[in-house]
């Protein structure tokens, strides 16, 4: 058994390491960009809701529809449909750069809804107290809403990262690289079950690691208890 493992890792170890690196890069960059776009959308959906800071029925409805439509499209369909857009933005639809664009498009509506949910958990008393002290809308959003929701946002980021792990495996089906590409090319097309099992184990370890880090950070940030 030991001889088999040594032979396996000598042949595929570097290959799996590079696939892990590509998966982490495409997932990490996509998560960061989806939060860059998703947080403002989630904030706008929240503050434009009836009875919120800046109620605006039209804006709230439009943003709500955009988010719902984005979340309704299966990722594999979005992946193919965005190939021209991906080529226009990054110059290719293959490899890690080619995977990041559709991953961001898929994750941003998901992030927007999670941000909205996190902001809605904030006690109205905190916002009312800030208003009574004369705080403006931007100050309330930045110093009260986002600050109070930070632990929930951190947990949401780890969930998004893990979700995009699964999406990155789907992207591997069309040459996006990473562990998904390795699992499909070697585990599926070439019937190399040992490579398939290795990629699954690596994915499980990475998911557990990301979830643990997210939970630890959220607990340290949360000063409420």
pLDDT tens-place string over residues 113-148: 999 999 988 888 888 888 888 888 888 888 888 888
pLDDT in tens, 83-112: 899 999 988 888 888 889 999 999 999 999
32: left (phi over 0), alpha (psi -120 to 50) or beta: alpha
Q: Give the model's pLDDT for residue 134.
A: 80
pLDDT in tens, 182-202: 888 777 777 788 888 888 888
Mean pLDDT of 57-69: 92
Q: Give the model's pLDDT for residue 128.
A: 82
Q: Contact, 187 vs 207, CB < 8 A?
A: no
CA distance 214 to 152: 10
3-state helix, strand, coil in the chain (%, to 5): 85, 0, 15
Please give the tally of structural domains in the chain.
1
Mean pLDDT of 197-209: 89
Where b means 16+ CB within 10 Å and e means fewer, 26-47 reads bbebbbebbbebbbebbbbbbb
Task: Report the CATH number at residue 83.
Answer: 1.10.3720.10
pLDDT confidence bin for 40, thresholds 50/70/90: very high
User: Residue 156: is its pLDDT beyond 80?
Assistant: yes
Which residues form the domain of 78? 2-221
Q: Give the model's pLDDT for residue 45.
A: 93
From residue 54, give the alpha-carbon distance in Å to each of 21, 76, 177.
43, 37, 44
Give Cα 17 to chain centroid, integer Å: 22
Predicted model pTM: 0.88
Q: Give the model's pLDDT for residue 41.
A: 95
- The residues, any chain, with a CB within 8 Å of residue 213's CB and separated by 6 or more, are 158
Q: Give the model's pLDDT for residue 194.
A: 86
- Full 3-state SS string of 120-176: HCCCHHHHHHHHHCCCCHHHHHHHHHHHHCHHHHHHHHHHHHHHHHHHHHHHHHHCC
């Amino acid at each position: 058994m030991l001889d088999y493992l040594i032979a396996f890792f000598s042949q595929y170890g570097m290959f799996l390491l590079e696939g892990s690196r590509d998966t982490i890069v495409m997932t990490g960059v996509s998560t960061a960009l989806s939060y860059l776009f998703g947080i403002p959308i989630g904030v706008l959906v929240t503050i434009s809701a009836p009875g919120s800071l800046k109620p605006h029925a039209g804006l709230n409805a439009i943003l709500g529809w955009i988010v719902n439509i984005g979340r309704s499209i299966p990722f594999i369909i979005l992946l193919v449909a965005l190939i021209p857009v991906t080529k226009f933005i990054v110059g290719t639809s293959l490899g890690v750069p080619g995977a990041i664009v559709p991953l961001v498009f898929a994750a941003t509506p998901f992030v927007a809804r999670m941000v909205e949910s996190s902001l809605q958990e904030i006690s109205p008393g905190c916002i009312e107290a800030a208003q009574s002290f004369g705080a403006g809308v931007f100050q309330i959003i930045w110093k009260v809403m986002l600050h109070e929701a930070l632990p929930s946002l951190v947990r949401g980021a780890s969930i998004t990262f893990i979700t995009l792990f699964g999406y990155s495996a789907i992207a591997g089906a069309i040459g996006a690289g990473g562990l998904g590409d390795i699992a499909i090319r070697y585990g599926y097309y070439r019937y190399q079950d040992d490579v398939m099992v290795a990629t699954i184990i690596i994915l499980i370890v990475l998911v557990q690691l990301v979830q643990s880090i997210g939970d630890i950070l959220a607990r340290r940030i949360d000063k409420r208890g």
